Structure 1
Amino acid sequence: MKKIINTKITVILALAILIAGCSNDFLDQKNPNETTTDTFWRDANDLSFGLVAVYNAFKDQDIMLLREETYRSDISWPGFGRPTTDNVYYLQTFNNSASAPNLKWAALYTGIFRANQVIKAYERIAPTLTREADIANAKLYNAEARALRGLFYFYLYTSFNNGSVPLFDFVPLAGKDFQQPLSPAETIKDFYIKDFEFALPLLPKTWTATNKGRMTAGAVTALLGQSYLYEKNYPKATELLKKVITDFGYTLTADIGSNFTTRDEHNSESILEINYSVDFKSGIGVNDAQQVSNSLGSLMTPAPVGGFRSLLPSSWLVMEYKNEKPDVTDPRNVAVAADGTTKVRKYSLRASQSLALVDDEFTPYYQRPTAGEATIFNSNETAYFRKYSNWDIVSNEKLVASSFYRSGINYRVLRLADVYLMYAEALIAGGTNNAGVEEALLYINKVRRRSAVQLLGPIGSGEFPSNDHNDITYTAQTLMNHLMYVERPLELAFEGHAIRTIDMRRWGIAKTRFQELATRRYYATHYTFKNSTGANVTRWTSVLHNASESPTTPIDPNFSEFGNTAVNFNPAVHSYWPLPNTELASNSGL
């Protein structure tokens, strides 16, 4: 456990950190822990310093909790050898003393407390401002703080205790102020929507290059649309998500891989992303929440290229990527392979940019011609996530920065492809509105065409009639099934704020999904190839197959997944994180 912050002292720590970041004379402060909103906040410039502290809280990796949130879904397993694991999140045996919910809770409330400091200071300072520039800047800083507070509460609402959490719309100053009861989930939802709606008309559509990463009107509109979709308010979700598509100038990037590495950060598809850098703050630990880097690159990569392989794609996900049919009419699916010959791609561009596969001849990995040459694929591991690793710029994750295991890849929280797929879901109303199928297919196929994947629908139909189609006529329900089990997991695996975990919960499929996946069986075969020096190399049990493809092949128990998960998962217990034990121990209001 990296840290567990008692919420009673969070505001004191947050304010002390804020003061330290805003003053060169920190040691000359009379007593930072006694500083209050009345004595520190004096002008618009102080509001800007405070807002930086709120954004600094947003980049704490414990908010997204990417690894643990992914373990809870169906798209990964914890690595370190098959088939056994003692990982409580994958096994669905976690409780309120587990580190993950405690860390996430503390990180989110730190952000809320910092945002409240800015908001309350603005309310006091605003009447004293006289310069037009100061008035305009202060309004903007307040709007950003409200948008971020709304986001933090949106994440609490969708993460903890069925949405019922303590509500703080003030700055706690004494111990008793922290003893707040649970507010009903409906109250929390109304609160964060009010914050979003307040901020929306005051935020800009875009920022200058030096301010990229700050909240925009497009980001807040997308968050509102996502929230209404999660609530199954399809008309409102449709309205808002369509505004994101039409009103802000977002476009899909030409290459899906532009969304997962240091190249093309804040690109045309990015709606909300968290800025990171390999710069280093001395005096604090390399993994401290106040660092400006992240540790994502080392999570999923194997040891030969500098990672810990602590989060790997589940077998069903690997097979779905492998089974994607490239569009035979798209010239991008004919390319030069590692051996210098021109061939038809075996795997889709989306698969190649999302996973490192041993027999992918077209995509380098850590400056080697192929993943098979870069790493050994041992321990029955058949694929590694590429997303948020530095495979495209270095030969080893350790070489990214001078300090051990740091990455500067920005984390994309929301991007246009996600909005397209949410919009498609809203159009078909979760599988109940056949009238929305035709338009929904248009947006799903925009996402698929970007990666040169075979399009959905009858041959010659839709926006791209000359492209290859699968010649299937969809209903709202069959298209919803495709969204749930193919399109969203393949496009958005290992992204955003707990996307797959929340999707499975809101669709009500988690229990049956784990049960069904527990019945699937796979096996792996060896892969032999000539490396760049001409030597024959074999990667043992590295190419995954469905056992049903070869009924005479014995089932390999090493590839059985989710058996214990299916038994342990209780929707009433594991769909949300529980209230953390640190909060229960410290908050008598509960």
Structure 2
Amino acid sequence: MKKYIYILIGGLILTATSCKKFLDLKPQDSYTENTFYVDEKGLQGGLISCYDALQTDSLYGNNLLTLGEIRGDNVTDNDPGSGAGVRNQIEVFAETSANNILSGSWQGHYKAIYRSNIILDRAPAIVMNETTKNQVIAQAKFIRALSYFNLTRLWGNVPLVTKVQKTEEARENSRSTPAQIYQQIISDLTDAATKLPVSWSDAQRGRATSYAASALLGKVYLYQKNYTMAASTLQPVVTAIYAGSTLATVPQTTTFPNALKTSKDVIFAVQYLSGGVKEFVNQDNRYRNNNNTNIINLPQSLFEAGDNRKALLAVTGTGGRPGKFNTPQVNNETSSDFPVLRCAEVLLMYAEALNEVAYGNPDAFTALNAVRTNAGITAKTPVMLTSQNAFRTALYLERRLELALEADRWFDIVRTNQMAAIFPGIPAFRSLYPVPQVEIDNVNKKDGWQNNGY
């Protein structure tokens, strides 16, 4: 929050003899929750802070890249001594509950949840346009749902906090199961999808939309293996994609991430802005391959001839970044947004859900091939993919190539039961991360707080 300093120039006294009122100057850096969230301006400012929480290095600015990609098989950390080795611990499955990447990510997600809970707590009492108020509430619910989705994917059982807590209350928290967490996520996203617009004006670009809420909800159902609900939830978004307008048409004439900030392929992204305004992301946090710190080791042989996604994973120049994040940098700052939900993923999720319901659905092939056509490669047919498992295998590969470096690879490995095959010898308990010890130290009842194996 900006601080305003008021200087009273000596001898200047403001009086009003007729009404005997004096100018009451109060420093604006003394705001509290009770004095800030009192009108629409305060509520909107608080909502921006929710989006801001997603930007931090604890989340999409850096750590989720480590937890979602370096942990997987697309990227290798080639600097084991960096940061006292905490990132390399995650690379080699040796992290402990003292790892500060884990504690930072845990706290970062709960910061986003805390800020969202403030909005949800204060919004009902604020006098403002009801449609606008509902949209503010829906955005806070979307951000809370996204945060909980990441938390339960990372740690499994986590505390479910849906209201603003005092310290004493927080110390009594216990962990909820993924089923309980998902129930809250589904409730938040279902409500958000009905209240958010399908698009925002250019001045409001970057806010969550109804398509974003539906896409994330479909993804949640996919993780729960509720394929029927996943397909039905995603179907309206897929229809909108095929129709174009506010979302990308297929095939597109350009490939992600050209013009990332304006690409219709991006349904929701965490946005950044360079130029000394404190809204940037460090260029090193976008897989900048300076001195081979991060090695992109996704086998090039996996790409078919003519696949235009292959070039996006190439590092451009000395100390450059892969094409997916190769935006100009100034003073080590870059404006590279982080894509969280894209049209291409919606199509792949839809195809996966339909195939899991029953093999041979032509709409599953249509959705899969829309992504492949956009990549410049030939369509798959039932003659090529003759069974549900064959389609499933092709779909998993397509996700790996299409979503590479977007912090989903590790979670895909876990949810599709590929961990034992890809990382033989790694114990199954490593599919979840250890709960940070600092969080366990802060609660009164510590039993049951640590994940098995740690």
Q: TM-score, normalised by structure 2?
A: 0.84
Give the deviation of 1:506 after TM superposition.
Answer: 0.8
Give the equivalent residue in structure 1 for 2:309: 350
Give the deviation of 1:29 after TM superposition.
Answer: 4.3
Match of 2:151 among 149, 156, 172: 156
Task: Flag the 1:26–1:445 CA change in 2: closer, same or farther, 3 A.
Answer: farther
Q: Is the 8 A contact 1:299 1:311 kept in 2?
A: no
Task: Letter of the 1:102 partner, please give it.
Answer: S
Match of 1:313 among 289, 296, 315: 296
Rounded to whole Å, the distance in 1 between the matches of 2:138 and 2:301 is 45
Q: Is the 8 A contact 1:300 1:309 kept in 2?
A: no
Rounded to whole Å, the distance in 1 between the matches of 2:215 and 2:282 is 27
- Is 1:480 aligned with 2:392? yes
Cα deviation digits, residues 442-463 of structure 1 (max 9, x gap): 22111111121132226xxxxx
Tell me the secondary structure at the aligned position of residue 272 of structure 1. strand
Task: Letter of the 2:294 partner, please give it.
Answer: L
Give the deviation of 1:501 after TM superposition.
Answer: 0.9
- Is 1:200 aligned with 2:187? no
Q: Is the 8 A contact 1:445 1:456 kept in 2?
A: yes
Cα deviation digits, residues 307-350 of structure 1 (max 9, x gap): 35322222x523213xx123xxxxxxxxxxxxxxxxxxxxx312
1:521-532 alignment, distance < 5 Å: none
Rounded to whole Å, the distance in 2 between the matches of 1:297 and 1:134 is 43
Q: Is the 8 A contact 2:351 2:363 kept in 1?
A: yes
Tell me the secondary structure at the aligned position of residue 288 of structure 2. coil
Task: Flag the 1:95–1:253 CA change in 2: closer, same or farther, 3 A.
Answer: farther
Match of 2:324 among 349, 368, 387: 387
Rounded to whole Å, the distance in 2 between the matches of 1:253 and 1:36 is 50
Give the deviation of 1:510 after TM superposition.
Answer: 0.7
Give the equivalent residue in structure 2 for 1:69: 68
Give the equivalent residue in structure 2 for 1:409: 336
Cα deviation digits, residues 202-223 of structure 1 (max 9, x gap): 1111000010110110000000
Give the equivalent residue in structure 1 for 2:443: 587
Q: Is the 8 A contact 2:4 2:29 kept in 1?
A: no
Give the equivalent residue in structure 1 for 2:354: 427
Q: Is the 8 A contact 1:253 1:268 kept in 2?
A: no
1:288-299 alignment, distance < 5 Å: 291-296=278-283, 299=286
Q: Is the 8 A contact 1:350 1:491 kept in 2?
A: yes
Tell me the secondary structure at the aligned position of residue 334 of structure 2. coil
Tell me the secondary structure at the aligned position of residue 339 of structure 2. strand
Match of 1:48 among 33, 44, 57: 44
* Percent identity between the two aligned chains: 23
Alignment RMSD, CA only? Answer: 2.6
Q: Is the 8 A contact 1:140 1:203 kept in 2?
A: yes
Task: Flag the 1:483–1:416 CA change in 2: closer, same or farther, 3 A.
Answer: same
Match of 2:414 among 492, 505, 514: 505
Q: Is the 8 A contact 1:434 1:476 kept in 2?
A: yes
1:68-107 alignment, distance < 5 Å: 68-80=67-79, 87-107=88-108
Q: Is the 8 A contact 2:196 2:210 kept in 1?
A: yes
Rounded to whole Å, the distance in 1 between the matches of 2:136 and 2:318 is 47
- Is 1:570 aligned with 2:410? no
Task: Letter of the 2:280 partner, please give it.
Answer: S
Task: Flag the 1:25–1:198 CA change in 2: closer, same or farther, 3 A.
Answer: farther
Give the equivalent residue in structure 2 for 1:301: 288
1:229-244 alignment, distance < 5 Å: 229-244=222-237
Rounded to whole Å, the distance in 2 between the matches of 1:473 and 1:188 is 36
Give the deviation of 1:31 after TM superposition.
Answer: 7.7
Q: Is the 8 A contact 1:298 1:309 kept in 2?
A: no
Task: Letter of the 2:182 partner, please give it.
Answer: K
Give the equivalent residue in structure 1 for 2:18: none
Cα deviation digits, residues 400-423 of structure 1 (max 9, x gap): 21x2x2110111111011111111
Give the equivalent residue in structure 2 for 1:254: 252
Give the equivalent residue in structure 1 for 2:368: 444
- Is 1:121 aligned with 2:122? yes
Give the equivalent residue in structure 2 for 1:147: 142
- Is 1:138 aligned with 2:126? no
Task: Letter of the 2:134 partner, please give it.
Answer: K
Task: Flag the 1:245–1:473 CA change in 2: closer, same or farther, 3 A.
Answer: closer
Rounded to whole Å, the distance in 2 between the matches of 1:446 and 1:135 is 39
Give the deviation of 1:61 after TM superposition.
Answer: 3.3
Q: Is the 8 A contact 1:299 1:308 kept in 2?
A: no
